[in-house]
């Protein structure tokens, strides 16, 4: 059932969402881990597009949930790849995402900026680590 909700959500919000979080085999090669982490970051970047800054209302509950799932996927990949600094950054951002899930009305330009800034900084962390 979760897969159907995921597919439905993916098409409803029009962005690529996180892949099913069930026990999916982890890529073994470091390049694969980095590619999977970058894919998750790209998903996150697509979710908080530029339109989020001008109109924070576009950060719907579905988009926030998709961002949270991509964040979990990124954290998992970063952990397996040994990117401890990125894992810690994911944990820190999880607080903001959690608050948005609980109360979407607190979505504002600053929160959108924080979510977008995280994507940029996480990409830089991966590039520096790799």
Per-residue pLDDT of the chain (130 residues; tens, 9 = 90+): 444 444 444 444 444 444 444 334 445 567 888 899 999 999 999 988 767 777 877 888 888 999 999 999 999 999 998 999 999 999 999 999 999 889 877 778 888 888 989 999 999 999 887 6
Looking up residue 113, the CATH number of its domain turns out to be 1.20.120
User: Would you tell me how many other CB atoms lie within 10 Å of the CB of residue 28?
Assistant: 9
pLDDT of residue 51: 75
Quote the domain boundaries for residue 37.
29-129
Contact 60, 13 (CB under 8 A): yes
* Residue 33 included in any domain: yes
* Residue 16 included in any domain: no
pLDDT of residue 28: 59
What three-state secondary structure class fits 50? Answer: coil
DSSP 26: P
* Residue 55 included in any domain: yes
Please state the three-class secondary structure of the chain as a single string.
CHHHHHHHHHHHHCCCCCCCCCCCCCCCCHHHHHHHHHHHHHHHHHHCCCHHHHCHHHCCHHHHHHHHHHHHHHHHHHHHHCCHHHHHHHHHHHHHHHHHHHCHHHCCHHHHHHHHHHHHHHHHHHHHHC
pLDDT of residue 77: 92
* Residue 117 included in any domain: yes
Q: How many domains does the chain have?
A: 1
* Residue 88 included in any domain: yes
* Residue 15 included in any domain: no
* Residue 10 included in any domain: no
* Residue 13 included in any domain: no
């Amino acid at each position: 059932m979760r897969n159907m909700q995921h597919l439905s959500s993916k098409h409803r919000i029009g962005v690529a969402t996180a892949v099913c979080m069930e026990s999916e085999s982890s890529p073994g090669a470091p390049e694969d881990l980095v590619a999977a982490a970058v894919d998750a970051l790209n998903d996150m970047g697509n979710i908080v597009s530029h339109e989020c800054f001008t109109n924070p209302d576009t950060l719907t509950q579905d988009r926030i949930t998709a961002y949270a799932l991509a964040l979990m996927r990124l954290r998992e990949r970063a952990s397996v790849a040994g990117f401890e600094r990125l894992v810690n950054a994911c944990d820190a951002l999880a607080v903001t995402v959690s608050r948005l899930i609980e109360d979407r009305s607190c979505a504002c330009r600053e929160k959108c900026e924080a979510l977008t800034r995280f994507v940029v900084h996480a990409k830089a962390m991966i590039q520096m680590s790799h």
